[in-house]
A and B are shown apart, each in its own frame.
Chain A
Amino acid sequence: MSHAMVRVPASRLTLDEFAMAAGLHPDLIRRLVALGIVEATYGPAGELRFSRSQLAVVARMQRLRAGLGLNYAAVALVTDLLDRIAVLETALRGSQWPGR
């Protein structure tokens, strides 16, 4: 008799837990997932699961909405561009010391 080993990541939050931690309604979280702003995975029963790191993504989305009046589509674009800039800036920093 054998059982498949199932790895259950302890840090993954359910939709309700995630919505509670983000201070937003679960329906809004669901929409953010559909828009590709928040990343989620699916649990064994097909339910949404969230990594804690996505809470920072939600916070940034709220700041961009509140501070610049962006809609969700614009937030998704700005978020992608900011992430790309961060990667480029990190690469640039690494090349500032040419070494030998």
Chain B
Amino acid sequence: MADGQDFYQTLGVPRTASQDDIQRAYRRLARQYHPDVNHDPGAEDRFKDVSEAYDVLSDPGTRRRYDAFGADFRQVPEDMDPETFRRSRAGAGSRAGAGGGQARGARGSPGFSYSSGDIDIEDLLGGFFGGRAGRGWGPIPGADQEAELEITVEEAYRGTRRSISLSGDGARATLDVNVPAGVTDGQRIRLAGQGGRGTEGAANGDLYLIVRIAPHPRYRLDGRDLYVDLLLAPWEAALGTSVALDTPGGEAKVKVPAGTSSGRRLRLRGRGLPNSRGKPGDLFAEAKIMVPARPSRAERRLFEQLAAESDFDPRRQP
């Protein structure tokens, strides 16, 4: 975060921005990414970057030094002349390129040694990396965060394991999450202590994963109840039949009673999503009568015969 971030880019302002522009940009971004306003796990780091950028650019003195010396400006002595610095950096670069071993500082300015990597930036800055929250406010627990976790209907039925990666701290970059069988859409899974970082030793917030069950080509979902189309030929619907139906829990036999019209729901009790704390959902097979798009000559003749002999009129009021 600290290394390589361009403070102007972080705030989205040009290098020529006025102090007013910088403050305006900072206020807008701070409101947008404050961890209590924005529960996205990435928002907290963004907020800290924005705060750090503003801390540097809002002070005309540090801003001048940042403009002159770049990201390493904190390691440059107060009285360093920018021109001398540039020349010494160029010298340091050529030394590195030559493989080292040459007379040190041959072209560098006397009295200045540029040590890279020896200074721990965190030491120089103290509690700065807690963002603006780090200074003078005492320990503050971290905010709760929220992220969405999309799973399929089948995964919701059987349960699943997911590796989720978190931005920020390398130490907790990926988490193995156990999604229990029978989660419902919108349900929250709490990962204690995986949310926003607390400052000065205060507790971290929690990370909540909000389960999203992805739309499925066959299954529609209402809570734990599943709905699936049951496609029937006209004679199957009229005469009754037994149909094998794929469900998330495996194949099920559905008995279609004679005289079933489109829209009739046949309930398969307990064949919906399971429920660890009670009754599982049901699966509803919805009859949908299909006709051949291009009937054969024989089929056509039979339908015509049926039309001539039947006095059934679906539009007649009973």
Contact = CB atoms under 8 A, between A and B. Distances in A.
Interface stretch (A10-18, A42-50, A92-100): A92-100
Kindly name the residue among B34, B36, B47, B223 whose own CB sees the greatest number of chain A CB atoms within 10 A: B36
Interface stretch (B77-85, B139-147, B165-173, B288-296): B139-147
Interface string B260-273: 00000000000000
Contacts of A63: 34-36, 133, 140, 143
Contact of A67 (B35, B220, B222): B35
B222 A100 contact: yes
Contacts of A64: 34, 36
Interface in B211-237: 213, 220-223, 225, 227
B312 interface: no
Contact of B220 (A60, A94, A99): A99
Contacts of A78: 36
A94 B102 CA distance: 69
Contacts, number: 67
Contact of B133 (A24, A66, A82, A97): A66
B196 to A, nearest CB: 8
A62 interface: yes
For the complex, would chain A's binding face be called helix, strand, loop or mixed by DSSP majority?
A: helix
Interface in A59-100: 59-60, 62-68, 78, 82, 90, 93-94, 96-97, 99-100
Interface string B179-199: 000000110000000000000
A23 interface: yes
Q: How large is the interface on A (under 10, 10 to 19, 20 to 34, 35 or more residues)?
A: 20 to 34
Nearest to A97: B185
B186 A94 contact: yes
A66 B186 contact: no
Interface of B: 30-31, 34-37, 47, 51, 131-133, 137-144, 185-186, 202, 210, 213, 220-223, 225, 227, 284
Interface of A: 23-24, 55-56, 59-60, 62-68, 78, 82, 90, 93-94, 96-97, 99-100
28 contacts: A23-B138, A56-B141, A59-B142, A62-B133, A62-B140, A63-B35, A63-B143, A64-B34, A66-B133, A67-B30, A67-B47, A67-B51, A67-B132, A68-B31, A78-B36, A82-B36, A90-B186, A93-B186, A93-B210, A94-B186, A96-B186, A97-B185, A97-B186, A99-B220, A99-B222, A99-B225, A100-B220, A100-B222
